[in-house]
A and B are shown apart, each in its own frame.
With several copies, the nearest count.
Chain A
Amino acid sequence: MIRVQAEDFDVGAELAALGRGNKKIGAVTSFVGLVRDLSDGSDVAAMTLEHYPGMTEAALRDIEAEARQRWQLEDVLIVHRHGKLEPGDRIVLVAVASSHRGMAFDACHFLIDWLKTKAPFWKLEATSQGERWVEAKSDDDQAAARWAKK
């Protein structure tokens, strides 16, 4: 399941709902991304996440489908926020439930790596040096490239 929302999310409630009652699940992995107060050497006072409504949801659904095709997963959740956030705020939750931990770790890592390069979000940072649009990182391209099909 995927969701795009302005509101914060409750990690405990989201993870508890993941595959609830499915006793084939032996492993639940999760990733939470948070706003840091420092970015590329500048203090960050706030961050605004812009996205492309409609395309965002389609892209996240595609990413979930790709993970489910690659691994045997019992449940998948992606929740991504948009709008104005502050340091310490949660940005994104990715969680995976599977029978075994190897798959759950790989799928969770894959989901966030692909999301970074394939979902239409853009970050605007308010720093002590003014506003600036975050630039895409080559690290993120490399992280996503790890998952390219051979």
Chain B
Amino acid sequence: MKLNLVYFAWLKQSIGMGSEAVDTPANVATVNQLRDWLRSKGGGHGEAFGKDAVLRAAVNKAIVSDDHALQDGDEVAFFPPFTGG
């Protein structure tokens, strides 16, 4: 399915871009599976998603759990825990 991915903080720096449009294979149905697929791409993606660091996800600007089911056209964001305030 087609997804718009968004990255923040060190993840954005590590991957080298803030957003990208992807077309995922059929076996990517959940946030967790998307993360695994991104890691498998290697390069900046492999490094960023391969780190032993906490990453959170949001779909269409709302926090979701790892087993959240994705839909075609979703905006999926990955980022480390928040540090505002």
Tell me, yes or no, whether A and B come into direct contact in the complex with CB atoms closer than 8 A. yes
The interface centre, meaning the residue of B8, B58, B83 with most chain A CB atoms within 10 A of its CB, is B83
A123 contacts B by Cβ under 8 Å = yes
Contact B84 A51 (CB under 8 A): yes
Q: Which of B41-80 contact A (CB under 8 A)?
A: 54, 58, 61-62, 77, 79-80
Contact A52 B79 (CB under 8 A): yes
Q: Which of B16-61 contact A (CB under 8 A)?
A: 54, 58, 61
A119–B61 CA distance with the chains assembled, in angstroms:
11
A19–B58 CA distance with the chains assembled, in angstroms:
34
Q: Which residues of A contact B84 (CB under 8 A)?
A: 49, 51, 80, 91-92, 115-116, 119-123
A21 contacts B by Cβ under 8 Å = no
The interface centre, meaning the residue of A119, A122, A133 with most chain B CB atoms within 10 A of its CB, is A122
Given contacts A52-B77, A122-B79, contact A58 B62 (CB under 8 A): yes
**Interface residue count on the B side (C-beta < 8 Å):** 17
A123–B10 CA distance with the chains assembled, in angstroms:
10
Contact B85 A54 (CB under 8 A): no
B9 contacts A by Cβ under 8 Å = yes
Of B6, B8, B58, B61, the residue contacting A122 (CB under 8 A) is B8
Of B6, B10, B62, B83, the residue contacting A136 (CB under 8 A) is B83
Given contacts A50-B9, A52-B6, A122-B8, contact A135 B83 (CB under 8 A): yes
Q: Which residues of B contact A33 (CB under 8 A)?
A: 85
Contact B61 A118 (CB under 8 A): no
Q: Which residues of B contact A115 (CB under 8 A)?
A: 84-85
Return B72 CB to nearest CB of chain A, in Å. Answer: 20
Complex: chain A residue closest to B18, CB-CB: A50
Contact A121 B79 (CB under 8 A): no
Contact B82 A118 (CB under 8 A): yes
A137–B81 CA distance with the chains assembled, in angstroms:
9
Q: For the A-B complex with A52-B6, A122-B84 known, give 14 more contacts whose Cβ atoms are closer than 8 Å.
A: A33-B85, A50-B12, A51-B84, A52-B61, A54-B61, A55-B62, A116-B83, A118-B82, A119-B84, A122-B83, A133-B9, A133-B80, A133-B83, A136-B81
What 5 A-B pairs are tightest by C-beta distance, nearest first? A121-B84, A136-B81, A55-B61, A122-B9, A116-B85
